[in-house]
Structure 1
Amino acid sequence: MKRLAAMVLVISTAIAMFTGCSGSKGAAGDGEKLVIGIDDKFAPMGFRDDKNEIVGFDIDYAKAAAEKMGVTVEFQPIDWKTKESELNSGRIDLIWNGYTITDERKEKVLFTKPYLKNAQVVVTLADSNLTKLDDLSGKIVGLQSLSSASDALNANPIQSKIKTVTEFADNVLALSDLKIGRVDAVVIDEVVIKYYMSKEEGTFKLLEESLAPEEYGVGVKKGNEALLEKLQKALDEMNHDGTATEISNKWFGEDKVLK
């Protein structure tokens, strides 16, 4: 009987452990940790500073939301090309780093309400003779692989006139190749390039026309409406109590958050 009781205890414990480990994460509760997938080279939204610490608008924004939700956060740098796969596999809980809302992505993930406006623009060197989109005809254009920059360029008639579209793992590499002349221009988020232009005055200029307006949102795994609802409630509270405005002023010098 003792052996039978011991076996029952072992089996019960194993079942409990398996259930706890294999169950999908629902609405985040007090003390729970959310893993947020980011591109750690996407300044000023999420990037590494001189001390190699992950900082940025989205980093502060996520921390503030987590505090209101009663959870902790861990920022996990990921290959941005596999962001939806990382989310749907459960390796991360949220995609939160300048993540553009598109109809195609809505088929793969749940989105919060938009929290920031952006646009895809074209940047070149300050001394370049390129000034408008038509000037890209016959040129080499760089962009981040599987980003909304690619979608915006493909949707514009100029795409068919471009000589070559070179894809990069991140915007930092694309801008580096622009500076050494390997590409003639780069399609990039307006929020991102304006940050770099403020840090490297006289290096870059934007073409007169932008490609497409867009909005950022936070991506949640489909089926996890409970987490989405709790996160959205926290973001709404941040809009009402001034937290969002304070974070925006810190990073952009103005209130850019959508209310």
Structure 2
Amino acid sequence: MEAPQTGRAVRFLTDDEFPPLHFAGPDGNPTGFVVELARAVCEKLTITCTVQARRFDTLLDALDSRQGDVIAAAIPLTAPLREKFLATRPYFRWPARFAARADKGLPVPSAAALAGRSVGVMGGSAHAAYLKAFFPKAVPKEFLDLAAAEGALKRGEIDYLFADGLNLALYVGGQEAENCCALIGGAYLENRYFGEGIGLITRPEDAALSRALDDALQRVWDDGKYTELYLRFFPVSPF
């Protein structure tokens, strides 16, 4: 499928403060998994594209006012968003993951294995609700922010931490963790709790462009480019 011919470059909008998905590279230009995926999509469609960084909270308004054509950023796909914009199928989802100290030899999380075990969660979060629903005998310990929970895990004050897999992957693979901890068990992807993920967002009148982007995303997946980019930007997989 070919992109509609507009006679000009397709303008992608992103944010440059959310690594590893989108951030400013050493030369100041936008890069990251999402940005390079967008560039790969443009190559598949043999179209000229530009990528402009804007403040995250202005992206949807900028698209709506025709200051760009496509948003490539970590804006969650929701029903209210779809009422106003089009989006491709999700190209990245937000997994929930458990992490534990690497030296404790704790069992892989299950409803039975977590009975009586302390599990850190963000207070009032979807992860806290999921833990309560599916691991009812776990002992939740609520935190106000993820950094505090990560510190408690590192010090051995909690057995497990259950949170956003992307942030946990960055933590366990980063210097601050000092190899204390590791992801354990699989990824949890229930839409009802953790959302649909993120896709490329366009205006409703650009349906042909949205379909072309969807097709190109599939081809990027099929030829291995998606995996190449994923491994480049996620040294520790959030999945």
- After TM superposition, the score normalised by the length of structure 1 is 0.58
Match in the other structure for 1:238: 220
Match status 1:195 vs 2:177: no
1:117 Cα deviation (Å)?
A: 2.1
Residue deviations 1:35-79 (CA, integer Å, cap 9, x gap): 212121111111123443322111111111111212222222222
229 and 256 in structure 1: CA distance in 2 versus 1, 3 angstrom threshold: farther
Residue deviations 1:95-151 (CA, integer Å, cap 9, x gap): 11223211121112101011122136799xxxxxxx646x756xxx9xxxxxxxx8x
1:118 to 84, 87, 94: 94
1:154 Cα deviation (Å)?
A: 11
Question: SS where residue 114 of structure 1 aligns?
Answer: coil
Q: 1:43 touches 1:195 (CA, 8 Å); kept in 2?
A: no
Equivalent positions of 1:39-78 (< 5 A) are 39-78=15-54
Match in the other structure for 1:223: 205
Q: Distance in 2 between matches of 1:193 and 1:254?
A: 9
Q: Identify the structure with the greater helix proportion.
A: 1
Match in the other structure for 2:106: none
Q: Unmatched 5+ residue regions in structure 1? A: 1-26, 124-130, 142-149, 167-173, 180-186
Residue deviations 1:186-205 (CA, integer Å, cap 9, x gap): x9853245235423341798
RMSD of aligned residue pairs (Cα, Å): 4.4
Identity, in percent, stands at: 24
96 and 193 in structure 1: CA distance in 2 versus 1, 3 angstrom threshold: farther
1:32 to 8, 14, 23: 8
Equivalent positions of 1:97-136 (< 5 A) are 97-119=73-95, 132=119
Count of aligned residue pairs for this structure pair: 199
Q: Which has the larger radius of gyration?
A: 1
Q: 1:46 touches 1:56 (CA, 8 Å); kept in 2?
A: yes
Match status 1:248 vs 2:230: yes
Question: SS where residue 47 of structure 1 aligns?
Answer: strand
